[in-house]
Chains A and B, each alone.
Chain A
Amino acid sequence: MKSDHVVSIKLYSAIFGALLVMTLATAGAAFIDLGGNLNTVVAMLIAACKALLVILFFMHVRYSSRLTWVFVGAGFFWLMILLSLTLADVLSRRWLPTVVG
């Protein structure tokens, strides 16, 4: 069975090491002023990379069936709908002058 793929201890250890390095990198980068919103962008990019490693290897998605990929992708896709449509409304409200009455 595909989802029963046994991952080697070596690969798990490498993922664990990469996650620790990225944790230290994100904490370290937080002290450097990168200017503008770049600090947030870098922090979220590192977090996304960490999450991707956990999902693909620790959660075995890399070795799972196509149907599992669809289910995982659907969860992510609906989260993006939630975030993008709401923020598109809320953040763009301030672009226009407020009309009272």
Chain B
Amino acid sequence: MSDSSIVHAHQFDDAEQQHEASWLGMWVFLATEVMFFGGMFLGYTIYRSTYPEAFADASNHLDIWLGTINTAVLIGSSFTMALAVRSAQLGARKPLVRFLILTLVLGALFLGIKFTEYYAKIEEHLVPGSNFSYAGPLGRAAQIFFSFYFAMTGMHALHMIIGLALLTALIVKAGRGRFSSVYNTPVELVGLYWHFVDIVWIFLFPLLYLVGRHLQ
């Protein structure tokens, strides 16, 4: 697809090389994101191995059904994002805008459910700090679990919010017809980012919500 009609920056031989460079650049960024979240997963693993009973007990205070529904919602948004990228590749403008909006709506729904859960945790005094209260002898270690819960889901939610901003920009550009079957790199790269955020949640869900169900 080395179509000479596609504009490319002067440091590239052709549009194809430019496209490949964009993809590799995005993957390098995602590798740094893997390291960023990896540190938190590592800290979680160390403290969970130190206080296994408290992590199992504290995990049961999370709403497993809201967690499962939210996982399905986020996977659904990844599905619609994949279809948006497909529409962009085919140069189908209206389906592209439609799938991007659908992805945005599902992403917002995920955050809505997440913040409902946060609100419940505030009401139950499960936010680490001076208002934290937890019945039983496991309270101190349970506070560590909830520190990880809020740090990891909070960082994930921040990535979702950034994703929603990127999607909004894409919807505006797609509506103006900026993307075609030959040029759609921004749609593909935001797609990669969105799927990455989905993968982080795929691991957060069992590690935070499913630790101690079988012990109840």
In contact, A78 and B31 (Cβ under 8 angstroms): yes
Considering only residues 1-26 of chain A, those with a C-beta below 8 Å from chain B are 1, 3-4, 6-7, 9, 12-13, 15-16, 19-20, 23-24, 26
Q: A4-B1, A51-B203 are in contact. Are A23 and B79 (CB under 8 A)?
A: no
Task: Point out the residue from A12, A40, A72, A79 that lies within 8 Å of B82, measured CB to CB.
Answer: A12
On whether the beta carbons of A54 and B199 are closer than 8 Å, the reply is yes
Contact B68 A79 (CB under 8 A): no
Contacts of A24 in B (CB 8 A): 68
Q: How far is the CA of A32 from the CA of B195 in the complex (A)?
A: 30
Q: How far is the CB of B45 from chain A (nearest CB, A)?
A: 7
Are B78 and A1 neighbours in the complex by a CB distance under 8 Å? Answer: no
Q: Which residues of A contact B30 (CB under 8 A)?
A: 75
Most-contacted residue by chain B among A13, A19, A20, A44 (CB, 10 A): A19
User: Given the complex, which residues of B lie within 8 Å of A76, measured CB to CB?
Assistant: 34
On whether the beta carbons of A9 and B90 are closer than 8 Å, the reply is no
Any B CB within 8 A of the CB of A86: yes
- B64 within 8 Å of A by Cβ? yes
Say whether, besides A58-B78, A87-B45, A23 and B34 are in contact (CB < 8 Å): no
Q: Which chain A residues have a beta carbon within 8 Å of chain B's beta carbons?
A: 1, 3-4, 6-7, 9, 12-13, 15-16, 19-20, 23-24, 26-27, 30-34, 39-40, 43-44, 46-47, 50-51, 54-55, 57-60, 64-65, 67-68, 71-72, 74-76, 78-79, 82-83, 86-87, 90-91
